[in-house]
Structure 1
């Protein structure tokens, strides 16, 4: 097919008209899933991010990062749709979009198409395994606080609670369709918003002192701020499954749209909780602000319980990405009559694997930072910038502004990756030293 024919073909083919989704989601359900992908444990870690950056830098940084993350999601979804038109496919996943962009891009990139797909799938897999590990530790720490306070005769380490919660997580992990996950996402969002309001109640309960709070934090802690906010904001691995299963995917982009509403809501919630959470608790903040709440008031007790239930209900949404990748490679190796058993066994095995990592490294703040710095920088910043550049290589705009803009995105992602990982690894080494002393 010559270039002229391909251009005509791209114009004629509408992927939305050819989508045959088994269980499509409405705009509201899609918004609920998209919000839940970004409004998990990350929002509760935002006050700690502000403590690392200072409240002035925190506000400005949160707005800028929200814009960058939203822009990266936008350009990746647009790229995916253009790839669908080019190859006449109704929908493409995250890794498939990367592969197709390289296949139809400049000639030197075409031989890298398979490598691009493998790299994207590797990044997705390990990102969401990391997220599942974070969820396991957060649930365990929240419940441990309550049990330690009200059942002082039985003091278990957090690792034991990680093991106990493998049972309900294994059950939730058996949910296979996003449509079935939407009600759980909605309930989880309600519980999370309720927890958010309870946190605000304790934040504003007494007078707030800001004179002793830093406007600009210590420079060496700024990478930890970036890692936490990127982790909290990014939900790009869930974006393509959400967009691909929408009843009206045209409503995902634009203004107003599902993406714009979601990112605006997320930015406002993060800014408010981060700013005032830091004002209230200062440098005593923990990996989740709920861990700073008192243990003798029923609203605080409810908040700790709500966040645990919310994360349990959120778990299968992120778990969906992991299983989707694994099944792509495993199902062809197993006879059709055994594939249901394969699904059950693999889902249980992955939950147990994530629980095992949580047991081995039960450091909530550090796991959040390492996943944000290493994997979400790759998924949410570096890959979208590269894919958009490759796809638009023949038309990069006046003065090649698209190229320069995407170079800045990729460089920013690399800086976040290297600096965030370095600071987090040093933090883990310091914690391990203190434990052995």
Structure 2
């Protein structure tokens, strides 16, 4: 049961709240169908990674392999001499992608917290017990969104100085409680008084569909935690059942929230559904609670790249400088995520960009290729090889075109008729 909870937690975050806009970018019919298809593909790739790691542990008499190690050892034992020679680069590539992905998550968290904090603070004087629906357009914000990012920065720096996993586990529990409570209240609101969806397009423009692809992959990008979660189980052989059960719940949750959120808010759908919630104390508290949960989750996401980068940095200096280097690197990484958020304060586009660039590679491109390199010498069927190649090609195309579209949108000025994540919505 504990492993199931951890699996759900790893796949539910800010991406969940951006799914109504993702459905809007794809269309009321194409969006849910595509989200289901991407969910099935990512779960299948998780299962592929599990099978590859299990076979490699048997070959090499190892007890546990993480994603990076599985990639390296798969290349070491494959049929190609060139890949065997360069197997270490497989590990470096996956480690690099994990670092970029996790820091991308942290940058998204900065924007999410700043967006919601701005709404809470600048609307406090007009907030009451009576809930008033929001409109699409609003007066200019009092303070720039970047001010709120800089306000959050020192608190996050202090947070990441905490390295004790037991303390981080307490933060994780707090984040889970706030996320569950907030999500329940969000569902309670969006299921009430849903307008007739007859005017909503079933199929959206293909350019916005590319943004949908990146967002969908971002929300499902929990593949890096699959092997560690399996290793924590008392009965690892049952993990496949836990994986399919947990991810089925996640996929259903995503589809329901995406459809209901888009039907509820229609063309006014914002990059985060919390920005669509009405202005009253109840739903302002929902934003605050979810932001607190994301604040604590930041430390958990940050822990992954820190565990890769900090030990390497410390190994380059003497023991007397170890603590200084440790804290300096952590501070620099947090500042890096803040600077990224300041430079690109567009929550929806950054989510799509991170999902397209790194999420596609980790969740869709690498696992099928890993299966080919691991099992090809064991008379692997051509049907399986063709299937793996098709999944990798799909992921590659999504990566290329999704990245292009996200970068293109980032170069365009924000359109006042299109919701963005840089201000208050009254």
Fold-level match, TM-score > 0.5? yes
Deviation of the 1:242 alpha carbon: 3.3
In 1: Cα distance, 2:8 partner to 2:22 partner: 20
Deviates more, 1:370-379 or 1:182-191: 182-191
Matched, 1:130 2:104: yes
Unaligned runs of 5+ in 1: 1-26
1:83-102 equivalences under 5 Å are 83-102=56-75
Deviation of the 1:403 alpha carbon: 0.9
Deviates more, 1:106-115 or 1:365-374: 106-115
In 2: Cα distance, 1:94 partner to 1:361 partner: 30
Does the 8 Å CA contact 1:188/1:310 hold for their aligned counterparts? yes
The answer to which structure, 1 or 2, has the higher relative contact order (CA under 8 A, 6+ apart) is 2
Counterpart selection for 1:274 from 258, 264, 269: 258
Does the 8 Å CA contact 2:313/2:326 hold for their aligned counterparts? no
Partner residue in 1 for 2:302: 319
Partner residue in 2 for 1:17: none
Q: Secondary structure of the equivalent of 1:55? A: coil
In 1: Cα distance, 2:314 partner to 2:54 partner: 27
Does the 8 Å CA contact 2:42/2:364 hold for their aligned counterparts? yes
In 2: Cα distance, 1:423 partner to 1:147 partner: 33
Matched, 1:243 2:230: yes
Q: Secondary structure of the equivalent of 1:234? A: coil
In 1: Cα distance, 2:373 partner to 2:145 partner: 46
Q: Secondary structure of the equivalent of 1:176? A: coil
Change (3 A) 1:74 1:328: farther
Partner residue in 2 for 1:47: 20
Does the 8 Å CA contact 2:230/2:236 hold for their aligned counterparts? no
Change (3 A) 1:227 1:397: same
Partner residue in 1 for 2:413: 431
- Count of residue pairs brought into register by the alignment: 403
TM-score, normalization: structure 2? 0.88
In 2: Cα distance, 1:242 partner to 1:333 partner: 31
Partner residue in 2 for 1:7: none
In 2: Cα distance, 1:370 partner to 1:376 partner: 9
What is the root-mean-square deviation of aligned Cα atoms in Å?
A: 2.3
Counterpart selection for 2:159 from 172, 181, 189: 172
Partner residue in 1 for 2:273: 289
Does the 8 Å CA contact 1:32/1:186 hold for their aligned counterparts? no
Counterpart selection for 1:57 from 17, 25, 30: 30
Counterpart selection for 1:139 from 94, 108, 113: 113
Partner residue in 1 for 2:210: 223
Partner residue in 2 for 1:10: none
Q: Secondary structure of the equivalent of 2:62? A: coil
TM-score, normalization: structure 1? 0.86
Matched, 1:408 2:390: yes
Partner residue in 1 for 2:423: none
Deviation of the 1:189 alpha carbon: 2.3
1:375-394 equivalences under 5 Å are 375-394=358-377
In 2: Cα distance, 1:364 partner to 1:154 partner: 17
Counterpart selection for 1:68 from 38, 41, 46: 41
In 2: Cα distance, 1:366 partner to 1:270 partner: 19
- Give per-residue Cα distances to partners, 1:346-369, cap 9 Å, x unaligned: 222211111111111111011001
1:9-28 equivalences under 5 Å are 27-28=1-2
Counterpart selection for 2:331 from 334, 348, 352: 348
Q: Secondary structure of the equivalent of 1:287? A: coil
In 2: Cα distance, 1:382 partner to 1:212 partner: 37
Partner residue in 2 for 1:18: none
Counterpart selection for 1:202 from 155, 165, 189: 189
In 1: Cα distance, 2:391 partner to 2:120 partner: 42
Does the 8 Å CA contact 1:37/1:317 hold for their aligned counterparts? no
In 2: Cα distance, 1:402 partner to 1:124 partner: 27
Counterpart selection for 2:92 from 115, 118, 133: 118
Deviation of the 1:427 alpha carbon: 1.2
Q: Secondary structure of the equivalent of 1:393? A: helix
Deviation of the 1:83 alpha carbon: 2.2
Does the 8 Å CA contact 1:33/1:182 hold for their aligned counterparts? no
Q: Secondary structure of the equivalent of 1:254? A: helix
In 2: Cα distance, 1:146 partner to 1:63 partner: 34
Does the 8 Å CA contact 1:185/1:314 hold for their aligned counterparts? yes
In 1: Cα distance, 2:379 partner to 2:394 partner: 20
Q: Secondary structure of the equivalent of 1:333? A: coil
Change (3 A) 1:181 1:73: farther
Deviation of the 1:126 alpha carbon: 0.9
Change (3 A) 1:346 1:66: same
Deviation of the 1:186 alpha carbon: 2.9
